[in-house]
Structure formats: structure tokens, C-alpha cells
């Protein structure tokens, strides 16, 4: 027979900067949060090497170390951190929300904070994964890692607004930026395209696909193929950026919560309310624009404060 459902004041789903910050605030407000880490404990920062733009770390910090610090801080206030995944939900506006873990444990929560993040899309090449994991020069975030390639040559793959924006960002730091576009046109908005075309040190390689990323310890080049002519060539670069979009981790909420066409959770502007009372959203799962650790932490704090007020207004805490 299945166990009877566990009752919780507040369940937090996700363990990136948003989830852990929500946990610190919720725990200090006596909401006894239970945090489910999900399949990638620590979130996207676990595949980042050095983080230099998070305030409070003047010397920079390794992404995994920072996430370890986040977890310790949440646990210091007795957040119940569980290394499992929530696989199913049943939300009930203004009432008790039901959640199930992968091992079929059932929880009934008065408030739920979603901070499941968004996963960067990758090309799927073996060397891409290896050199991203080792900090060897492959990254899915130019704003986070571009600084390490000052005065060097880099490549960026993608042709949407993110790729255009990141190519422009890199062009201010790097000597040359090679933009690898798989078609003969870009998906990015016209204004972004114009800016890219105007940048003197961005070279666009049209109809170009990445065959492989070269380098043992660090990136030394990109092996590319022109998909019109079939011709292969090597572009020598020290950094390789992937900007082919993100997938928000929101699939299990789709029956209950409003999502935008790309799957991001829709929240009340300036707040963390979803369309279901008692369910709050924070971090990259609801942020298609900024996607930074510090902004995710900020919205995690907001979600916990919103949840606390909600529970107080209902007379639950
Ligand atoms: P998009 O989905 O808009 O673009 C992804 C790009 O990656 C496309 O050009 C696509 O090529 C390319 N791509 C996908 N898979 C591959 C692959 N395997 N190999 C090579 N190229 C590939 O994602 P974005 O992250 O750029 O943007 C997401 C949303 O956010 C958009 O709505 C965008 O407008 C918005 N945004 C707005 C910004 C702004 O307004 N400042 C900034 C950033 C994002 P193809 O075109 O051939 O399909």
C-alpha cells in the first residue's frame, strides 16, 4: 500500500540559484521548505567553470563551488534538500497542490515554488560536451564566459536573437568572432542582424555547420562544413560558444500553468504569481530575457516572499 501523502507548507522544485535562494528565504520565514533538486542538482552553473559576475565573490568562484555554497546556506536554515525529481503535479488553485516524486512519493503542499530552470540546447557533439564539462573553452553563455577570451578568436553557433546578442557582446571583447549560421539567412530580428553586419570583427559563415570542435585540453579550432558545397575547413579559435536556444523545464506543468509559445512560465509582470493561486515561478523557467544567476536568485527571493504572504493571508502560517 502506498504511504499516505506527506504534508508540506512549501515545496520548491529545482536547485539552481533561484531554488536555493527561495529556500533560504522560505526557511528563515519558518515555511519548512522541502526542495527537490531534480535531475541536474545545482542547475546550469554545474557546467560552468569560473563565475566572475556574481556579487560577493571578488576573486570569482567555480560554478559547482558556488552551488555548493548555495546548498549549504539553504540547509543551514533547515531546508529539507532531497535528491529526487518531481515527475507529476496536480495543482488546485488556492487549495492544496499535489506533487509526486519519481519514486511515487506523494506530497500535498500549500505553496509551490517552481525554479526548474531552462536547459541550454547543445549541438550534441562528443567534444562539445567534453570541453564544456572540463571548462576547456566550450560554453553556452557568452555573458558568463566571454571575458575569458579577451583578445582571442572565438566562434559562435546560432542565428537567433541570442546568438546575435552574444556575438555582439563577444565582438567587444574578442579579436575576431566567427558566427556559424546553418542557413543562408538569420532568424534574428532585423535590427539585431544589422548590428551584427555592422560589427567589423564579426565574420558570418553562411550555410555552415559544425562537424567537430578541435582541441585536447582546450579548444583550438572548429571543423566546419559548408552544407551547399560540402567543403570542410578548420577555423582556428580558442573559444566556442553555442547559442542555439534554451528549453525551459516546464513540461510537467503544462496542463495547469500558462506557458508562452516557447514553454516559459508566464508570471504576473514584476511578480512571481502564476495563473494558479499558491504556485509561484522563479528563475530561468520564467525568464527568457536575462537568464543570469543573480537575476534567478533575485526572483527566487521574490517567489519565497510572495509565497510567505500568500500563506499568511490564508492564515496557514
Ligand atoms: P531561437 O530558437 O530563436 O534561435 C535558435 C537559432 O539556433 C536559430 O537560428 C537556429 O537556426 C539555430 N540552431 C538551432 N539548432 C541548431 C543546430 N543544431 N545547428 C546550428 N544552428 C542551430 O533561440 P534564441 O535563444 O536565439 O531566442 C529565443 C527567443 O528569445 C526568441 O524569441 C528571441 O527573439 C528571444 N530573444 C530576444 C532577445 C532580444 O530581444 N534582445 C535576445 C535573446 C533572445 P535556424 O534559424 O536555421 O532554425
**Whether residues 115 and 63 fall in one domain:** yes
- CA 62 / ligand 1 centre spacing (Å): 28
144 is an active site residue: yes
18 φ, ψ to 5°?
-65, -50
In which domain, by residue range, is 238 found? 122-242
Does 225 map to a domain? Answer: yes
C-alpha to C-alpha distance for 192 and 159, rounded to whole angstroms:
10
CB neighbours of residue 56 within 10 Å: 8
Domain boundary among 242, 258, 289: 242
- CA 167 / ligand 1 centre spacing (Å): 12
**Whether residues 12 and 154 fall in one domain:** no
Does 24 map to a domain? Answer: yes
Q: Is the pLDDT of residue 248 over 80?
A: yes
Does 16 map to a domain? Answer: yes
Higher pLDDT, 52 or 183: 183
Q: Would you call 124 exposed, middle or buried from its count of C-beta atoms within 10 A (0-12, 13-18, 19+)?
A: exposed
Does 271 map to a domain? Answer: yes
The residue whose CA has the least distance to atom 33 of ligand 1 is 161
pLDDT in tens, 197-209: 999 999 999 999 9
- CA 197 / ligand 1 centre spacing (Å): 17
**Whether residues 24 and 107 fall in one domain:** yes
Does 260 map to a domain? Answer: yes
pLDDT in tens, 79-94: 999 999 999 999 999 9
Does 181 map to a domain? Answer: yes
Domain boundary among 242, 259, 286: 242
Does 1 map to a domain? Answer: no
- CA 283 / ligand 1 centre spacing (Å): 20
Q: What is the pLDDT of residue 234?
A: 98
Q: Is the pLDDT of residue 1 over 60?
A: no
**Whether residues 38 and 126 fall in one domain:** no
CATH code of the domain in which 160 resides = 3.50.50.60
141 is an active site residue: yes
**Whether residues 258 and 223 fall in one domain:** no
Count of domains observed in the chain: 2
**Whether residues 227 and 257 fall in one domain:** no
Beta bridge partners of 240: 138, 155
**Whether residues 252 and 299 fall in one domain:** yes
Substitution candidate for ligand 1 out of 143, 158, 183 with most atoms within 8 A of CB: 158
Q: Is the pLDDT of residue 3 over 80?
A: no
Does 87 map to a domain? Answer: yes
| Catalytic hit among 3, 68, 104, 141 | 141
Pocket of ligand 1 from Cβ distances under 6 Å: 123, 157-163, 165, 182-183, 187, 244-246, 288
174 is an active site residue: no
**Whether residues 75 and 93 fall in one domain:** yes
Domain boundary among 242, 264, 289: 242
Residue 259 backbone zone (phi > 0: left; psi -120 to 50: alpha; other: beta): beta
Q: What is the pLDDT of residue 2?
A: 63
**Whether residues 138 and 194 fall in one domain:** yes
**Whether residues 227 and 136 fall in one domain:** yes
0.85 surpassed by pTM = no
pLDDT in tens, 93-105: 999 999 999 999 9
**Whether residues 231 and 142 fall in one domain:** yes
* Mean confidence (pLDDT) of the chain: 96
Distance of CA 137 to the CA centre of its chain: 19
Residues 6+ apart with CB under 8 A from 267: 273, 274, 280, 281, 286
Q: Mean pLDDT over residues 261-270, rounded?
A: 97
C-alpha to C-alpha distance for 116 and 43, rounded to whole angstroms:
8
**Whether residues 23 and 101 fall in one domain:** yes
Per DSSP bridges, beta strands 118-120 and 246-248 are antiparallel
Amino acid at each position: 500500500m502506498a504511504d499516505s501523502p506527506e504534508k508540506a507548507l512549501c515545496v520548491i522544485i529545482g536547485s539552481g540559484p533561484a531554488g536555493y535562494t527561495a529556500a533560504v528565504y522560505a526557511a528563515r520565514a519558518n515555511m519548512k521548505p522541502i526542495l527537490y533538486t531534480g535531475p541536474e542538482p545545482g542547475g546550469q552553473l554545474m557546467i560552468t567553470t569560473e563565475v566572475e559576475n556574481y556579487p560577493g565573490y571578488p576573486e570569482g568562484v567555480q560554478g559547482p563551488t558556488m552551488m555548493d555554497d548555495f546548498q549549504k546556506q539553504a540547509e543551514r536554515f533547515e531546508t529539507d534538500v532531497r535528491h529526487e525529481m518531481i515527475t507529476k503535479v496536480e495543482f488546485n488553485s488556492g487549495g492544496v497542490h499535489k506533487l509526486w516524486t519519481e519514486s511515487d512519493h506523494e506530497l500535498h503542499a500549500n505553496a509551490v515554488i517552481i525554479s526548474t530552470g531552462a536547459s541550454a540546447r547543445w549541438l550534441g557533439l562528443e567534444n562539445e560536451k567534453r570541453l564544456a564539462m572540463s571548462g576547456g573553452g566550450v560554453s553556452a553563455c557568452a555573458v558568463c564566459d566571454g571575458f575569458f577570451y579577451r583578445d582571442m578568436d572565438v566562434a559562435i553557433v546560432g542565428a537567433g536573437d541570442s546568438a546575435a546578442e552574444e556575438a555582439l557582446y563577444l565582438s567587444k571583447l574578442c579579436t575576431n568572432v566567427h558566427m556559424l549560421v546553418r542557413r543562408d539567412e538569420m532568424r534574428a530580428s532585423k535590427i539585431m542582424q544589422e548590428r551584427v553586419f555592422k560589427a567589423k570583427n564579426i565574420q558570418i559563415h553562411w550555410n555552415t555547420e559544425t562537424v567537430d570542435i578541435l582541441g585536447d585540453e582546450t579548444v583550438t579550432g572548429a571543423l566546419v562544413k559548408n552544407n551547399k558545397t560540402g567543403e570542410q575547413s578548420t577555423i582556428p579559435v580558442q573559444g566556442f560558444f553555442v547559442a542555439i536556444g534554451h528549453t525551459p523545464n516546464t513540461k510537467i506543468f503544462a496542463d495547469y500553468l500558462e506557458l508562452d509559445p516557447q514553454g516559459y512560465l508566464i508570471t504576473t509582470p514584476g511578480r512571481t504569481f502564476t495563473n494558479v493561486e499558491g504556485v509561484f515561478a522563479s528563475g530561468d523557467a520564467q525568464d527568457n530575457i536575462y537568464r543570469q544567476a543573480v537575476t534567478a536568485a533575485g526572483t527566487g527571493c521574490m517567489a519565497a516572499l510572495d509565497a510567505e504572504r500568500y500563506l499568511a493571508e490564508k492564515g496557514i502560517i
